[in-house]
A and B are shown apart, each in its own frame.
Chain A
């Protein structure tokens, strides 16, 4: 039987002709990632190994993004600890305040991930880079420590679920709606331990940014990774961002899949995940009257330029509802600058929104927009678990930038069409 895209990449990096689902393999990694929460734990474990050096100073990326610019003394101490480590080891890709961005938006932008790579990161949303046809997955800090020392990681070769995309998404439907729709269908453990492989004619209708959003939330379906085939759009992106050599892998015709789903992109409507699980999805017309207090547009899921442009399209010439705080967080310095140059900040500020420096901030309930008890937020982030954005009795509704911006104007969950028609 043939291999899936993921299986082929793992086999190549394990130095094997072929691999089978369930097999345990040691693979060479092209990039090891950590952030300001997970790296301190990894550094302590790295010291226990007794290694004097990291395996490759160019293949480790450390991005303090969760609590930075540091929100308190403890988080400042954590970042100091990893900054010192990065200096001591000579780690090239340490991105401090001024260079940084939300890690999963930053790495592809800096050209650190290309098709065919194996990337592990001590952050669950490391699966984002599957958008570029790489195998990338989240691991823990101990895995990060071991990989920093050896350049290797162990994996159980996953089975895959195939998602055949067809049709063209309608207006206001973006990658976020596609992935929320899929998670609503298969559930938060629907792809547990498995790969989600996307393919089909519909892929070409999705921008690279859409694909990042979709692959980003593969972990919300329990998947090990999400992966897209490499096409012209991918290669254009890679050529514009990276100098690294890449390799294109594609699934064999006779590859085996645990399940196959056909997804008609044209039938997907703007979708919202209600508290407290990403699988609690409703289409916008089923959302009902949900009053909100905060809107967050940003994160590794939807903080890219395309996302900000969509939000600006809706906020232009309109005002954020007086009961709503609207917080917009470009995901990286580069995106921030582009948004500024394109005049998006004028639109946001005139509408009564605030624009923050890149940070994870409120996405994980860190700072920069924490919810009080009883408050509700519409966020373009990826998790709506109990207490995720603040008080355990607050609520997070996950949506696309278009729905989030429309909701900011309406003061309740609203569709972009409704706002544009002035209802």
Chain B
């Protein structure tokens, strides 16, 4: 699996309140959430994002509220991947659970500039900046998380288990 798109760059501590402000949380429809994604930090985000684009940010991306609406809004905006120096922990698990790929890579997060053309190979964890020609190795996911991603997130993983148990009972 690969992603390719232009980098949209942000700083440290991008919190879930600016990713999707609470005033829009009276819905959980992905398209409606995407309409307001990043609104309080970057009002131009909606118009400049194109499908496949990659958010590149600093430390502690996704800190604050546990709202899954935040990764859902980012995913529904067409973002294919988020690269950051570090992620806040609830955001991290939410992205794995909903299937939005993320990568931690300090060097890449620091050096990639807004608008650079970026490609990411999720299997190898290699990030390539096609604008500068530089390559980076990101931290790969542990086995268990790769299983979750392979099962299309946590729900797919649990569904397989629930179906398995029902089968056992019948048989």
Residues of A within 8 A of B (CB): 24, 37-38, 40-41, 44-45, 48-51, 66-67, 71-72, 74-75, 78, 121-124, 126, 138-143, 145-146, 149-150, 154, 188-189, 192-193, 219, 222, 224, 277, 364-366, 383, 385-388, 392
Is the C-beta of B162 less than 8 angstroms from some C-beta in chain A?
yes
Residues of B within 8 A of A (CB): 13, 15, 17-18, 21-23, 25-28, 40-41, 59-60, 63-69, 72, 86, 88-90, 93-94, 97-98, 142, 144-145, 153-155, 158-159, 161-163
Least CB distance from B129 to A in Å reads: 25
Known contacts A38-B68, A387-B40; A142 and B13 CB within 8 A of each other: no
The CA of A71 and the CA of B158, in the complex, are separated in Å by: 35
Q: Name 15 A/B residue pairs within 8 A (Cβ), A-sorted.
A: A38-B66, A38-B68, A49-B162, A67-B25, A67-B26, A122-B68, A123-B66, A126-B66, A139-B93, A140-B68, A140-B97, A141-B68, A146-B158, A188-B60, A388-B22
- Residue contact B66 to A222, C-beta cutoff 8 Å: no
Known contacts A41-B68, A277-B13; A365 and B22 CB within 8 A of each other: yes
The CA of A122 and the CA of B154, in the complex, are separated in Å by: 15
Least CB distance from A102 to B in Å reads: 14
The CA of A367 and the CA of B31, in the complex, are separated in Å by: 24
Please indicate the chain A residues that have their CB under 8 angstroms from the CB of B162 in the complex. Answer: 49-51, 149-150
Least CB distance from B62 to A in Å reads: 11
- Residue contact B97 to A50, C-beta cutoff 8 Å: no
The CA of A296 and the CA of B95, in the complex, are separated in Å by: 33
B65 interface neighbour in A40, A149, A364, Cβ under 8 Å: A364
A385 interface neighbour in B17, B68, B144, Cβ under 8 Å: B17
Least CB distance from B131 to A in Å reads: 29
B17 interface neighbour in A38, A50, A146, A387, Cβ under 8 Å: A387
Known contacts A124-B65, A142-B94, A146-B154; A222 and B88 CB within 8 A of each other: yes
The CA of A145 and the CA of B159, in the complex, are separated in Å by: 11
Residue of B nearest to A79 (CB): B26
A149 interface neighbour in B72, B88, B144, B158, Cβ under 8 Å: B158
Please indicate the chain A residues that have their CB under 8 angstroms from the CB of B66 in the complex. Answer: 38, 121-124, 126, 138-140
CB within 8 Å: A-B pair count: 137
Please indicate the chain A residues that have their CB under 8 angstroms from the CB of B13 in the complex. Answer: 188-189, 277
The CA of A146 and the CA of B94, in the complex, are separated in Å by: 12
The CA of A381 and the CA of B161, in the complex, are separated in Å by: 40
- Residue contact B94 to A383, C-beta cutoff 8 Å: no
**Extra A-B contacts (9), CB below 8 Å, given A41-B28, A124-B64, A192-B60:** A49-B162, A78-B28, A124-B65, A140-B67, A188-B63, A189-B88, A277-B13, A365-B21, A383-B64
- Residue contact B93 to A74, C-beta cutoff 8 Å: no
B26 interface neighbour in A50, A72, A219, Cβ under 8 Å: A72
Please indicate the chain A residues that have their CB under 8 angstroms from the CB of B18 in the complex. Answer: 385-387
Interface centre among A122, A140, A145, A149 (most CB of B within 10 A): A140
- Residue contact A37 to B159, C-beta cutoff 8 Å: no
- Residue contact A154 to B27, C-beta cutoff 8 Å: no
Please indicate the chain A residues that have their CB under 8 angstroms from the CB of B60 in the complex. Answer: 188-189, 192, 222
Please indicate the chain A residues that have their CB under 8 angstroms from the CB of B15 in the complex. Answer: 383, 385-386
Least CB distance from A394 to B in Å reads: 11
